[in-house]
């Protein structure tokens, strides 16, 4: 039985139109379990969230591109992810979760299917963090493919990871604003460390998961100053995503129309929003130049 809440069935429409080619760089597909079973030993069991439901949400929000991030509940079985990419007509890319001993054949198969990155989890509820040596070895293997690393980091852990991040030979993306705590303010050492990544040319940050850094009460506007600060510090390396279907939410379930509108509040400059929504993801994930 699922132990996570489902996303809202009727999210509001955004108050503002997203530009052509807008990309949701952080979303998931779950199951359907009858076709794509969840992994044994998983830390959570979500309700199904199909590729059809994800595509419907993107049509509703006016999003034409997306990056589907492998869900921890599916482990290293990427069948659901690859199925979603295969049905997206080139408009979706993927981020995988890999074992340290992943074969070259598997990497090539994932690349051909549209995967362009690998994710590592450093949050306690998803299990033990990866060994530093494994991360560096895999990064070296991914570099020839043009992939990046996607790091799901608990804010408290970020300062301790900085020595590893400085050694990475590939671009890396910090998910969900590093899951810092908005209650600790903009001067919190974890957030200062996150902003410090602006000086590292291969560092990117997703201003996603606004609900995960605050009090858990919609519309999560205590996260807006943090989104704004990241976008201003790293205008060419900031990404945005919905985090649909919002697994393991502990407070209010986000309304994805409000999630989209939050970007307009945090980043009122249309040119900077276009970079975040269109130009930056097109460059990192290798989308075609023409919006679509």
Q: Residue 288's pLDDT is what?
A: 66
Threshold 0.85, pTM exceeds: yes
C-alpha–C-alpha distance, residues 27 and 39, integer Å = 19
Q: Residue 291's pLDDT is what?
A: 35
Closest CA to 246 of 64, 28, 13, 45: 28
Q: Residue 51's pLDDT is what?
A: 98
Q: Residue 128's pLDDT is what?
A: 77
* SS3 assignment, position 205: strand
In the predicted model, residues of the chain with pLDDT beneath 70 are 124-127, 288-292
Instruction: Please confirm, yes or no, whether 243 is among the known catalytic residues.
Output: yes
Catalytic residue, chosen from 175, 243, 255, 256, is 243
The structure tokens listed for 116 are 């362009």
Q: Do 195 and 178 meet the contact criterion of CB atoms below 8 Å apart?
A: no
CA-atom Rg of the chain in angstroms: 17
The widest CA-to-CA distance across the chain, in whole angstroms, is 47
């Amino acid at each position: 039985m699922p132990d996570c809440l489902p996303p809202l069935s009727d999210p509001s429409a955004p108050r503002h139109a997203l530009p052509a080619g807008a990309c949701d760089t952080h979303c998931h597909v779950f199951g359907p379990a009858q076709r794509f079973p969840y992994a044994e030993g998983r830390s959570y069991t979500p309700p199904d969230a199909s590729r059809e439901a994800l595509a419907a949400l993107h049509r509703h929000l006016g999003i034409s591109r997306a990056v589907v991030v492998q869900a921890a509940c599916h482990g290293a079985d990427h069948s659901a992810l690859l199925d979603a990419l295969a049905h997206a007509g080139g408009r979706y890319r993927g981020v995988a979760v890999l074992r340290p001993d992943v074969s070259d054949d598997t990497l090539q198969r994932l690349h051909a299917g549209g995967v362009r990155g690998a994710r590592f989890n450093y949050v306690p509820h998803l299990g033990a963090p990866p060994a530093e040596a494994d991360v560096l070895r895999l990064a070296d293997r991914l570099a020839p493919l043009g992939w990046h690393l996607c790091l799901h980091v608990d804010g408290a852990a970020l300062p301790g990871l900085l020595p590893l991040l400085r050694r990475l030979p590939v671009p890396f993306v910090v998910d969900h604003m590093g899951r810092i705590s908005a209650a600790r303010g903009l001067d919190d050492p974890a957030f200062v460390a996150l902003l410090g990544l602006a000086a590292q040319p291969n560092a990117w940050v997703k201003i996603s998961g606004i609900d995960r850094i605050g009090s858990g009460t919609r519309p999560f506007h205590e996260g807006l100053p943090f989104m704004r600060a990241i976008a201003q510090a790293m205008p060419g390396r900031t990404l945005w995503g919905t985090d649909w279907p919002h697994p393991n939410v502990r407070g209010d379930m986000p309304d994805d129309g409000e999630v989209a509108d939050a970007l307009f509040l945090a980043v009122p400059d249309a040119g900077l929003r276009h970079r975040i929504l269109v130009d930056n993801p097109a460059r990192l994930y290798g989308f075609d130049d023409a919006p679509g």
